[in-house]
């Protein structure tokens, strides 16, 4: 998207036609409102950027099918030239024609036609270059079918457009649309505009609309075998008394007008054909061919065509104007911008008391009398300029250096964030406040924009900054970077067969209309089509996996953020599933799901034993509520705006982080769960209460930091990545990677059968995890940490349950000995002694139970959980795993 520079932000509004309330579609569901259809089609317009086209920025729905469109805007247009009533020079006419044709040709590549070409829609920038406005109106309205006003202006309509007339389907349930206008209709409109510029006046102004249309249609009568095509412009000149001016025009201009005024569209050149005609041979040399910028994920070198400006004075004095149009509009909204307020202030939106809209007389069949047609439901051609004064005032104290931050300097050694230090106070505020802070978002957007342009080289810095927060405006690209998406994703996506019918097509068709349908964008027919293609691409490209219900919900966040880039949505989804949902979509996934739920149950017991005991007692197991949580990574549970904040953090964690999110959700519902029985819990989860997502994220991170890495080991998790196959973001945290990615040694966790895993209440941890957490490095430095280390590792206490004799033969230095046989009384309470007193004093820290027999160890841990001891785990392999390490110590003999 181009920088704002001398452009303005403009807004115009119109109404979509209302649909009857008593009609349903072929699927039995209510008809999709036309405003939502328009909103869906509009999205592609935001991705169309060309020097001769006004950039579309945003669209919003209001009441009663009102739509407000935000676009790049300029105050000056060809209409102003015509008001001077002076003929335009032939050279200027040819240049204008060439620039308009460039824009039309580029539009046609996206299968779009302007259809509303008129002098007031051909804007001029400060250098008098053409900018086509409202070029997407015909496309977004479904070729005019979804609005009650015609697209186009009577004087400029091509004969074939008039001949077809304004045809709209009477049956709203039918998907067939009438034949749209072709690109050649715009060539005729251009011919009329060029003719007006040549003679310095507007055509057919003395005729009414019906007479104008009749006049244009009657031009076809000139096409008899003995006549030439020049007759039309001659008739036009005679009608307006300007034959002498036309005769004095250069040959190339006359040729151009003649080709534009070819009556039959089959013989009329298209914009592309006319643009490459010899008559533009001299003009074309004045323009450089437009090259579309290389996308972030491409096989091409992004800096291949990089040009450093020789004169920095060409940059705007106001740094804000060097930012993209989308950024400026986003900041304008944050600074308090209100579209409807601006349109109301200019008199574009007028409110009318409901009593004044009633008809005086209504027949039984619904025909009404006594009330004139409300003209507010027609298109208002006025484009209102959005003032930037409020935004400038908010950013007046931002230094120029903030717009060009240094990403590398001697003092930036692994700092938490490269953001301006003056914003450190803002960084501590709640996320919802930071996302609405104009100045803070400006800094974050600029920083992420710089980092993402340097992706993948700046991958580590992107990870660092994402830990602070991710600006909503760049979330889609930031997520792709965090997921390690690279390469020519577009070519890969296009190479997948998305058209051939497959067995899952029917299930996809059933699921899509039910997926996040509260969202206007995803509920649009355009959104449904994109859902269908992305989901089908994933199914086809993963033949070893199958489509499960919930995959559509998993796709939704990626599609929403990359609505105009299906390839990127597909690539993100394809990178996300193996990391967090490995083998969840196998045809027989029961063993994967059961292992996952068992580990989750152990995590509940590890972090909240009281809640775990209660849920187990009433039989409310994770199988009853947690499968849709994990199968969709909570997208089936939370609305999209909450998922965005949740996944901002999820993508920074390893594959065990979802367990912590699940526990955090349960802890928010803890009081109600402890007070209720089985039936009440089922009802509670059938309509999940409001969850504070920011609190959920904070608590998930805390739980994650307290969980030893090997405690969430799963034998069905993603296998270790090959060397050099990681995402390259080497992070210094203890939890930087998955446990499965660590090199396997004799001290690693061993796989056990699922029934054995289910029999254990507490999770196991590996011997290497114990050594790492206790920082055991040799006989000269054997110690047990009683406080958190600098790397953020949790506090830990080792409990050896062997008898005293075995304990004295060798044990972990700093561990305590509580013999299993004499630890508990008949009623299950701990028998008081010095060791159990120490255990109680360590309550709340990670307690690692170890012994010779794993069954006894598991039972001892289960007893502690029954007594509501949190963070209890078992040493996998018992004390025997530690013997070969040489880290066991023998107490000195008493003399």
- Give tens-digit pLDDT for 91-140: 999 999 999 999 999 999 999 999 999 999 999 999 999 999 999 999 99
Classified as helix, coil or strand, 811 is: strand
Query: What is residue 59's three-state secondary structure?
Result: strand
Contact indicator for 655, 739 with CB cutoff of 8 Å? no
Q: Are 215 and 106 in contact (CB under 8 A)?
A: no
Burial (CB < 10 A; 0-12, 13-18, 19+), residue 400, is: exposed
Q: Read off the pLDDT of residues 453-484 as tens digits, 9 standing for 90 and up.
A: 989 899 999 999 999 999 999 999 999 999 99
CB 113 within 8 A of CB 182: yes
Banded pLDDT at 429 (limits 50, 70, 90) = confident
Residue 546 neighbours by CB under 8 Å, 6+ apart: 504, 539, 585, 586, 587
CB atoms under 10 Å from CB of 588, counted, come to 8
Three-state secondary structure call for residue 386 = strand
The model's confidence at residue 783, banded by pLDDT at 50, 70 and 90, is very low
Only one residue has tokens 């579609």, namely 25
Phi, psi (deg, nearest 5) at residue 59:
-140, 140
User: What are the structure tokens assigned to 495, written together?
Assistant: 């190479």
260, 190 contact by CB (below 8 A): yes
Length of the chain: 895
User: What digits encode the pLDDT tens for the residues 651-671?
Assistant: 998 999 999 999 999 999 999
pLDDT digits (tens, 9 = 90+) for 160-192: 999 887 656 555 544 445 578 899 999 999 999
What mean pLDDT comes out for the span 565-580?
96
Q: Which pTM was predicted?
A: 0.90
Distance (Å, whole) CA 571 – CA 320: 33
pLDDT, one tens digit per residue, over 195-225 is 999 999 998 888 888 998 898 888 877 655 4
C-alpha distances in Å from residue 291, one per residue of 288, 295, 742: 9, 12, 46
Residues 74 and 152: beta-carbon distance below 8 Å: no
DSSP 658-681: HHHHHHHHHHHTHHHHHH--HHHH
Residue matched to tokens 């001290």: 747
Q: Residue 812 in contact with residue 889, Cβ under 8 Å? A: yes
Q: Please, which pLDDT band fits residue 314 given cuts at 50, 70 and 90? A: low
- The predicted pLDDT at position 171 comes to 52
Least confident window among 313-322, 582-591, 749-758? 313-322
Q: Report whether 724 contacts 486 (CB < 8 A).
A: no
CA distance 632 to 647: 12
Report percent pLDDT > 70 for the chain.
87
Residue pair 68/343 in contact (Cβ under 8 Å)? The answer is: yes
Q: Which pLDDT score is estimated for 688? A: 87
**How large is the average pLDDT for residues 836-853?**
90
Q: Which domains does the chain have, with CATH numbers?
A: 8-14+24-167+180-285 (1.10.510.10), 489-587 (1.10.8.270), 745-777+792-894 (3.40.250.10)
Residues whose CB falls within 8 Å of the CB of residue 74, separated by 6 or more in sequence, listed in order: 6, 7, 8, 54, 123, 124, 125, 131
Residue 790 has pLDDT above 60, yes or no: no
Q: Where are the beta strands (DSSP E) in 249-388?
A: 361-362, 368-369, 384-386
Q: Are 827 and 811 in contact (CB under 8 A)?
A: no
Contact 476, 560 (CB under 8 A): no
520 DSSP assignment:
T
Contact assessment for residue 567 and residue 489, using Cβ atoms and an 8 Å cutoff: yes
Q: Quick one: three-class SS letters along 467-505?
A: HHCCCHHHHHHHHHHHCCCCCCHHHHHHCCCCCCCCCCH
What pLDDT, on the 0 to 100 scale, is given for residue 567?
96
Nearest to 25 by CA among 15, 14, 36, 16: 36
In whole angstroms, give the CA distance from residue 8 to residue 328. 10
Mean pLDDT of 445-459: 92
> Which of 59, 5, 134, 44 lies closest to 563 in space, CA to CA?
44
Tokens of 78: 């060809």
Whether the per-residue pLDDT at 297 is higher than 70: the answer is yes
Residue 369 pLDDT more than 90? no
Q: In the structure, what pLDDT confidence band is assigned to residue 729 with cuts at 50, 70 and 90?
A: very low
Q: Please report, to the nearest 10 degrees, the dihedral formed by the alpha carbons of residues 600, 604, 606, 607 taken in order.
A: 130
Buried b (16+ CB within 10 A) or exposed e, 656-673: bbbbbbbbbbbbbbeeeb
Answer positive or negative: Cα dihedral of 421, 427, 433, 434. positive
Query: Tokens at residue 532, please?
Result: 């269908």
Q: Which two tokens stand for residue 472?
A: 């909503």
pLDDT band at 728 (very low <50, low <70, confident <90, very high): very low
Cis check for the bond before 597: say yes or no (omega within 30 of 0): no
Tokens of 71: 């676009």
> What's the confidence (pLDDT) of residue 424?
67
Determine the pLDDT at residue 673: 95
pLDDT of residue 260: 93
């Amino acid at each position: 998207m181009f920088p704002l520079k001398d452009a303005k932000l403009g807004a115009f509004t119109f109404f979509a036609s209302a649909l009857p309330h008593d009609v349903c579609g072929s699927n039995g569901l209510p008809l999709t409102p036309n405003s939502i259809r328009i909103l869906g089609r509009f999205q592609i317009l935001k991705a169309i950027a060309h020097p001769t086209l006004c950039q579309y920025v945003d669209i919003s729905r209001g009441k009663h099918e009102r739509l407000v469109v935000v676009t790049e805007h300029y105050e000056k247009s060809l209409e102003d030239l015509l008001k001077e009533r002076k003929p335009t020079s032939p050279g200027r006419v040819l240049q204008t024609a060439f620039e308009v044709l460039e824009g039309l040709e580029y539009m046609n590549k996206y299968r779009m036609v302007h259809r509303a070409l008129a002098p007031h829609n051909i804007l001029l920038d400060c250098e008098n270059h053409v900018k086509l406005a409202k070029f997407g109106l015909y496309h977004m309205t479904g070729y005019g079918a979804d609005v009650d006003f015609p697209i186009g202006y009577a004087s400029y309509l091509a004969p074939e457009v008039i001949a077809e007339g304004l045809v709209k389907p009477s049956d709203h349930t039918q998907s067939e649309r009438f034949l749209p206008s072709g690109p050649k209709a715009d060539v005729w409109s251009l011919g009329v505009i060029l003719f007006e510029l040549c003679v310095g006046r507007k055509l057919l102004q003395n005729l009414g609309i019906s007479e104008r249309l009749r006049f244009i249609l009657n031009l076809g009568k000139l096409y008899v075998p003995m006549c030439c095509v020049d007759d039309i412009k001659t008739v036009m000149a005679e009608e307006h008394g300007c034959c002498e001016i036309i005769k004095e025009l250069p040959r190339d201009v006359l040729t151009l007008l003649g080709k534009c005024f070819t009556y039959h569209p089959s013989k009329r050149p298209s914009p592309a054909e006319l643009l490459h005609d010899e008559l533009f041979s001299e003009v074309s040399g004045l323009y450089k061919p437009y090259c579309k910028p290389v996308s972030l994920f491409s096989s091409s070198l992004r800096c291949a065509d990089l040009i450093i400006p020789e004169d920095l004075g060409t940059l705007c004095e106001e740094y804000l104007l060097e930012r993209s149009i989308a950024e400026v509009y986003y900041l304008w909204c944050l600074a308090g911008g209100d579209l409807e307020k601006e349109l109301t202030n200019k008199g574009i939106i007028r409110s009318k008391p409901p009593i004044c809209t009633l008809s005086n007389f209504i027949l039984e069949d619904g025909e009404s009398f006594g009330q004139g047609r409300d003209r507010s439901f027609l298109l208002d051609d006025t484009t209102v300029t959005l003032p930037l004064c409020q935004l400038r005032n908010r950013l007046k104290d931002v230094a120029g250096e903030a717009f060009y931050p240094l990403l590398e300097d001697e003092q930036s050694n692994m700092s938490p964030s490269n953001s301006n230090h003056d914003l450190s106070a803002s960084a501590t505020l709640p996320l919802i406040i930071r996302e609405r802070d104009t100045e803070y978002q400006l800094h974050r957007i600029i920083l992420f924009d710089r980092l993402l342009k340097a992706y993948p080289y700046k991958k580590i810095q992107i990870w660092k900054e994402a830990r602070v927060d991710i600006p909503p405006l760049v979330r889609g690209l930031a997520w792709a970077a965090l997921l390690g998406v690279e390469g020519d994703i577009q070519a890969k996506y296009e190479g997948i067969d998305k058209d051939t019918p497959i067995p899952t097509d029917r299930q996809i068709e059933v699921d899509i209309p039910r997926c996040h349908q509260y969202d206007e964008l995803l509920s649009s027919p355009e959104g449904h089509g994109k859902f269908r293609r992305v989901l089908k691409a994933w199914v086809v490209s993963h033949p070893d996996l199958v489509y499960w219900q919930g995959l559509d919900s998993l796709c939704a966040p990626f599609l929403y953020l990359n609505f105009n880039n299906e390839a990127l949505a597909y690539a993100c989804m394809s990178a996300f599933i193996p990391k967090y949902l490995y083998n969840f979509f196998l045809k027989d996934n029961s063993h994967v799901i059961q292992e996952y739920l068992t580990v989750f149950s152990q995590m509940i017991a590890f972090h909240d034993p009281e809640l775990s005991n209660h849920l187990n007692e009433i039989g409310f197991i994770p199988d009853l509520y947690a499968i849709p949580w994990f199968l969709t990574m909570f997208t089936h549970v939370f609305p999209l705006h909450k998922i965005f904040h949740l996944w901002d953090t999820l993508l920074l964690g390893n594959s065990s982080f979802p367990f912590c999110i699940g526990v955090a959700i349960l802890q928010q519902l803890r009081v109600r769960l402890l007070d209720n029985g089985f039936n009440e819990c089922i009802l509670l989860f059938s309509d999940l209460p409001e969850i504070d997502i920011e609190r959920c994220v904070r608590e998930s991170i805390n739980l994650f930091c307290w969980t030893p890495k090997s405690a969430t080991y799963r034998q069905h998790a993603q296998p270790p990545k090959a060397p050099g196959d990681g995402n390259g973001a080497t992070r210094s945290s203890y939890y930087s990677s998955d446990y499965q990615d660590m090199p396997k040694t004799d001290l690693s966790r061993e796989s056990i059968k699922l029934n054995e895993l289910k029999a254990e209440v507490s999770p196991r941890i590996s011997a290497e995890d114990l050594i790492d957490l206790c920082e055991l490095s040799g006989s000269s430095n054997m110690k047990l940490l009683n406080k958190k280390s600098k790397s953020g590792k949790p506090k830990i206490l080792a409990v050896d349950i062997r008898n005293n004799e075995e304990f004295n033969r060798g044990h972990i230095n700093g561990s305590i000995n509580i013999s299993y046989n004499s630890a508990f009384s008949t009623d299950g309470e701990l028998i008081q002694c010095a060791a159990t007193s120490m255990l109680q004093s360590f309550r709340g820290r990670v307690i690692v139970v170890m012994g010779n027999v794993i069954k006894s160890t598991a039972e001892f841990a289960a007893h502690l959980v029954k007594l509501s001891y949190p963070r209890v785990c078992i040493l996998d392999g018992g004390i025997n795993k530690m013997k070969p390490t040489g880290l066991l110590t023998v107490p000195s003999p008493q003399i």
